[in-house]
Structure formats: structure tokens, C-alpha cells
Amino acid sequence: MTMHLSNRFITPFVLLAITAAASLAQDAQQNAADAQRLITALELHAGSVVGEVGAGDGALTVAVAKTVGESGRVYSNEINTQKLAGIAKAAAAAGLTNVTTVAGGDTRTNFDDRCCDAIFMRDVYHHFTDPAAMNASILASLKPGGRLAVIDFGPPPGGESAAPAGRSADGHHGITLPTLERELKAAGFDILSAAEYGFRGILIVGRRPGGSPPCQ
């Protein structure tokens, strides 16, 4: 009887541990896949100077920083100050000295003008309440010929919000590829590619006009 009761109490914790481990593995797998998508789309290499907008826990910042190496630089932007501190810790834990954290803004990257060869974000764009202002800031932060890559996801079928402020609301969560493409074009970006993948995933790559592509 004692053993039977013990198993009843232990089993939920074992299941919880297994579930947590599986979730971590899935997250790591997703991060690796998204990092490779971005590295390929932006043609990143040693020496590239890159910005991430809304870096979250910094997983993609760390992956990209490893790619651009000590001769490159990653500016990692986040509004949440606790997450910003976490990004710095994640970079230090990975032995990286080429990551600079930057306090983000609602409508500005707060990167220097023309500082980046490339800028990227993941699952962030649909949170912009003033995408026109943010896109103008992103464009200004890129060198002429610099690239922007946006990974995001589409809303439920027919559920896209007409107003940017509603794109993160229940039932409307996400942004469609045509809307994203239209807004980037309005900001002055040339669209290099736009694709859907997986379950509601989208990836669009734009370029600031002028100059030659910096990553070739």
C-alpha cells in the first residue's frame, strides 16, 4: 500500500519533468531553425553588424552573435528591463563579448542611424501599435543596402485586426503576409522575398534602397 501511494504522488512530478524537458528541447529546436532561417535570409557572416528588435530571452541574439564572430557586433533591443539584463547574462554565459544590449522603445529601435548591415525580429512585429513609426526607425538604423528580416505568424483565418493595436488581441493574434509587405513597402523597403511556412509562420525579407548589399 505504501509503495502504491508513493507512486501516485511521484508520477505527476515525473510527468511534469518529462513535459518540461520535451518543451525545452522543442524550444531549442525552434530557435536553431529560426536562427538558420535568419542567417541565410540576411546572408550573415563574420564581421556583420546586426540588430535584433524585441530579443526576448536572447536565444537568437546569442546564435547570431556566434555567427558574426568577434569581428562583428549584435545590438540586442528589448523594452523589458529584466529581459534586457537576461540577454546580457545569456551572452556572457556563452562567452560572447560582441553583444551590446539596447533599451528599446515603442516606436524606435534606439540603434544609431546607419549602424546595421541587417536587422531582424521574431514574433514581435504584430505587437507594434505604430508600425509606420517603428518601420521608419528600422529603416534609419540600416545602412544603405541593409536587410530586414521579419519572422511572425498569421492570425486565425479571417481574424486579422484592421487596426495595429488589435493585432495582439485574442481572436486576432498575428499579422498576414500581405499586410506586412504593404507596410514595409510604405516605409520605403524593397521586398526581396516573402514566404509562408509551417503552421501560420511567415518570413519576409526587405532591403533599404541604395548602396550594394552589405553581406555579399
For 30-207, give the CATH class: alpha beta
Question: DSSP 3-state assignment of 163?
Answer: coil
Quick count: other Cβ atoms within 10 Å of Cβ 179?
20
4: pLDDT strictly greater than 50:
no
* Residue bearing cell 493595436: 165
Over the stretch 165-201, which tens digit does the pLDDT of each residue have? 999 998 889 999 999 999 999 999 999 999 999 888 9
- pLDDT for 172 equals 87
For residue 64, give the nearest of 89, 37, 92 by alpha carbon.
Answer: 37
Average pLDDT of span 149-161: 94
- pLDDT for 200 equals 87
CA distances from 49 to 11, 75, 106, 158, 195 (A): 49, 8, 23, 38, 25
- pLDDT for 171 equals 87
- pLDDT for 25 equals 56
Over the stretch 89-104, which tens digit does the pLDDT of each residue have? 999 999 999 999 999 9
In this predicted structure, which of 35-49, 66-80, 202-216 has the lowest mean pLDDT? 202-216
38: pLDDT strictly greater than 50:
yes
| Residue 26 pLDDT level (bands cut at 50, 70, 90) | low
Percent of the chain with pLDDT over 70: 86
Q: What nine digits make up the cell of 153?
A: 505568424
| Bridge partner residues of 191 (DSSP) | 206
Q: What nine digits make up the cell of 41?
A: 535570409
Over the stretch 103-148, which tens digit does the pLDDT of each residue have? 999 999 999 999 999 999 999 999 999 999 999 999 999 999 999 9
Q: Which residue blocks in the chain are alpha helix, DSSP H?
A: 2-42, 59-68, 81-93, 131-141, 177-187
pTM confidence score: 0.86
Average pLDDT of span 47-68: 98
| Residue 11 pLDDT level (bands cut at 50, 70, 90) | low
